[in-house]
Amino acid sequence: MRDLRSGATSAPAALLGAARALQPRTVALRRLLHRHPEVGLRLPHTRDAVLAELADLPLRIHLGRDVTSVVAVLDGGRPGRTTLLRADMDALPLQEESGTDFGSATPGTMHACGHDLHVAMLASAARLLCERRAELPGRVVLMFQPGEEGHHGARHMIDEGLLDRHGPGGRPDEAFALHVSATMQSGELHTRPGPIMAAADVLRVTVTGRGGHASAPHHAVDPVPAAAAMVGALQTMITRRVDTHDPTVLTVSRITAGTTDNVIPETAELVGTLRTMSEPVRRAVRTEIERVCTHTALAHGCTAVVEVERGYPVTVNDPAATARLADVGRRLLGDTRVCTMPTPIMGAEDFAYVLEKVPGALAFLGACPPGTAPHEAAPNHSNRVRFDESAMPAGVALYAALGMR
């Protein structure tokens, strides 16, 4: 199909060719964002860079009130549905060691999860969609989101009315997001219907005993053995109380106790993460965690305060939306470049909040660096991760094609 006003076509090959022609612009924005990463819900530099990139396009712009989100709305020239496309914008608190010549200029902060690529791809997709506005059916809502890395940015945007009928673009009929992966073959699209990413909760346990001299533990109540016993008891609980067909991961990632070698501390603290793939299992395991920790503490003469902080829900892809996404991917990239994931992954993603309310799908776009086998590449969230920028035209074209559908 051809936009008679602009001369632009929306055929798959044409979209991919147009995305490749925009590659210098896409790369420039990506590297600007990578050079100046920001963490959390307030990303003023990133927001301003996005606004500057979109400034010459016929978009209705809406800015977040409490967070630095950007929502850009494109009204098409034909009646149709409303499609939401998401790009997350925030970085991670890591010291970059990737060796790129456009590395982070902000000490202790790095775009280690590829969100800089997501923003650049969606901004260039907006340009392709605007060029095809006359033939665009319905409306496209571009969601540039802060605070994905544990800050519940999508939930904040939803609370500000993003998905409401009277929101910036009205209530979307469907929603899509792409996420780059350094450990998947560059240019491949990986997705699956149903659960694709886990729910993530934070576990904190404070064990309280009675402090004393380390040479006389019989005059104290040592919380350290109780905390150590809890680690093993929790892992046993997972294997004994959860069906092996229900993926569940519980990791105690930090144990903190004491100040010096000759003092038995009064308290010890465990911190960890719980990952589950269904709400019933999530609720059941939370109950079991409290039971195990409380009774293990009592067996050692201690007490325990157990807190399981509710995090992101399970990311669940709508089967029909996933099929549409895969179909678009096959037409753009070829049949062999679209892969159905056999199992979900245990990472978490706050696009789950959107998919709880709107049918849609998340997919992974491979961006393994050239000359590196995927299994040998530094993964997302590594301070040494590198992404293949040549995968970005595929992401730009995918976003644009999903908007055109």
312 part of the active site: yes
* CA–CA separation, 93 and 229 (whole Å): 31
Radius of gyration of the chain (CA): 24
Residue 67 CA to its chain's centroid (Å): 17
Query: What does DSSP say about strands 360-366 and 174-181: parallel, antiparallel, or unpaired?
Result: parallel
- Take residue 22 and report the two structure tokens written for it: 């925009």
Q: What sign results for the dihedral spanned by CA atoms 116, 119, 122, 127?
A: negative
- Alpha carbon distance 378, 365 (integer Å): 16
C-alpha 315/C-alpha 317 separation (Å) is 7
- Cα–Cα distances in angstroms (integers) from residue 237 to residues 107, 244, 248, 283, 288, in the given order: 41, 12, 11, 14, 8
Cβ proximity of 380 and 2 under 8 Å: no
Other beta carbons within 10 Å of 28: 12
Q: Is 389 a catalytic residue?
A: yes
Given 38, 312, 349, 353, the catalytic residue: 312
Q: Which amino acid is at 243?
A: D
Indicate which residue of 53, 135, 349, 389 is catalytic: 389
In terms of Cα–Cα distance, which of 125, 132, 103 is closest to 37?
A: 103
Active site residues: 312, 389
